[in-house]
Amino acid sequence: MAKIGFITDSTADFPDGIIDKFNIHIVPVHVVVDSKDYLDKIEISNEEIIQKMKNNSQVFTRPPAPAEYADFYEKLLKKYDYLLSFQIASKLSECFQSAKSSLNLLDPEAAKRIKIINTKSTSIGQAMYVLKAIEIIKREKTLQDLEDKVNLIMGTNVSNFTVDSLIWLKKSGKIGTFGAAFGNMLDIKPLIVLKDSVLKPLGNIRGKKNVLNEMAQYAGKTQKRTGFEYEVWVAHCDAQDDAKYLAEKLASELGMDQSEIIIVNSGAAIAVQTGPGSIAWGMVKK
């Protein structure tokens, strides 16, 4: 079989050790803090970003330029026959378009050896997409219809998230008028879903523990409806205790051992959108 290189943006959040285990190559997005530009996870850490946010620094992200993707791909094409590049949802970031545009900067024959894929997700959803693709290729030994096969699996994906404050989503322009409906109410936590690459509200709940309980119940109701067994992940931004609590509740609702639930730290590229205290969960059919 041809030698295949797997690439994704630093917006994907993987468990510790997985990137090295599967030799996944990460293109860093840019994190801009008070007008100073850093490469995500290379020049600035998650912890540093969170502290900057807590100190009210102006923080935002921007995608790598097409030339950055082109340089990244060109180096990897010396090692691999084909490259699969998995980008964050195109409606959430310009990474996908920038990666596509980079192909115009490459030799046409080299560009033919690169497949750019819109995962229509981010964070743990994006990471799951990459790992499912690797799993399928290892099992079936072919790239034929890969995107359709992964999309079929990811079609079973169920996820939602909450934030401690809507201020970061507002700053990033990721929410519209729905945030104003309950964003300033005392201790009200929004329950939000990423559907068709667009953030949509599921409800508003008073108290952090209550919204985490609602998340777990949502997962349990989904499993009862579908009858599927799921792989379950939780991601958090500076909210380790909440993540453990949610994992415990998810395990109870889904009838699984808590140790089976993967907990990851949200990367800086996601943290700057959702803010400290945010927490998400996602699951796909095994």
- DSSP code string of 128-166: HHHHHHHHHHHHH---TTHHHHHHHHHTT-EEEEE-S-T
Please state the pTM of the whole predicted model: 0.91
Could you tell me the residue range of the domain that residue 223 belongs to?
Answer: 158-285
Number of domains within the chain: 2
% of the chain residues with pLDDT over 70: 93
Q: How far is CA 61 from CA 34, 248, 276, in A?
A: 11, 32, 16
Whether residue 247 lies inside any domain: the answer is yes
- Claim to verify: residue 150 and residue 177 sit in the same structural domain: no
21 pLDDT tier (thresholds 50, 70, 90):
very high
221: CATH: 3.30.1180.10
276 assigned to some structural domain: yes
Are residue 80 and residue 203 in the same domain, yes or no? no
Q: Are residues 22 and 117 in the same domain?
A: yes
- Nearest-CA neighbor of 14 among 86, 115, 101, 113? 86
Both tokens assigned to 224: 């009862």
177 and 218 part of one domain: yes
Decide if 57 is inside a domain.
no
Is 60 exceeded by the pLDDT of residue 182?
no
Under the banding of pLDDT at 50, 70 and 90, the label for residue 81 is very high
Separation between Cα atoms, residue 211 and residue 188, nearest integer Å: 9
Would you report the helix, strand and coil content of the chain in percent, each value rounded to 5? 40, 25, 30
